[in-house]
């Protein structure tokens, strides 16, 4: 573990260090842990990947923090470390903006659900409330619920053997 690890511990969903983010101290998510954060703010939410800057002046209005995967905070001490963390945070913002470019709210909702499920698994992402996921891409929570229905039906169909899918198709026609 790095000597610059904040609180020298990996956090879990129940140990939410919002105080760290609101303190104004600049932190970064460790690049050595494959986790991410969803930062809920009063009117929107942000997804932050491993390696990204958090805290500082960016996240003082954070209301709730959701962890995805294992997350470890570090303190970027040198200027190059801070620059890398800032660049990763900007890349995260750009990635969310790309998802939000789609005019269709349902496609945006499906895209965020698929993206997060691919990285962290369905079970982990299902623990995040629909209203928070909706704030990531500017849609209504009901639209995220529909996206979940599509995602779960795709997962269910992917688990079936070709014979099972053929039987379902035959039953649907009958």
Question: Considering the entire predicted model, what is its pTM?
Answer: 0.79
State yes or no: pLDDT of 70 exceeds 80.
yes
- Distance, C-alpha 72 to centroid of its chain: 15
- Dist CA 115 CA 33 (whole Å): 18
Residues 144-157, mean pLDDT to the nearest whole number: 88
Q: Over the stretch 107-119, which tens digit does the pLDDT of each residue have?
A: 999 999 999 999 9
Name the residue among 102, 158, 64, 32 with its Cα closest to residue 112: 102
Residue 51's alpha-carbon distances to 19, 54, 89, 168, in angstroms, are 20, 9, 8, 45
**Is the separation of the CB atoms in 29 and 49 below 8 Å?**
yes
Q: Dmax of the chain from CA atoms?
A: 67
Between CA 96 and CA 114 the distance in angstroms is 13
């Amino acid at each position: 573990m790095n000597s610059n690890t904040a609180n020298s511990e990996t956090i879990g969903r129940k140990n939410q260090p919002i105080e760290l983010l609101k303190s104004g101290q600049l932190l970064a998510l460790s690049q050595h842990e494959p986790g991410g954060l969803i930062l809920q703010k009063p009117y929107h939410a942000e997804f932050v990947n491993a390696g990204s800057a958090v805290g500082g002046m960016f996240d003082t209005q954070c209301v709730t923090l959701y962890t995805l995967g294992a997350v470890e905070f570090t303190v970027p001490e040198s200027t190059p470390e801070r620059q890398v963390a800032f660049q990763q945070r900007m890349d995260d913002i750009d990635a969310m903006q790309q998802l939000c470019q789609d005019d269709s709210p349902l496609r945006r909702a499906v895209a965020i659900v698929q993206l997060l499920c691919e990285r962290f698994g369905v079970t982990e992402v299902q623990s995040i409330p629909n209203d928070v996921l909706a704030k990531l891409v500017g849609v209504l929570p009901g639209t995220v619920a529909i996206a979940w229905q599509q995602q779960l039906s795709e997962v269910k169909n992917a688990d079936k053997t070709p014979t099972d899918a053929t039987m379902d198709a035959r039953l649907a026609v009958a």
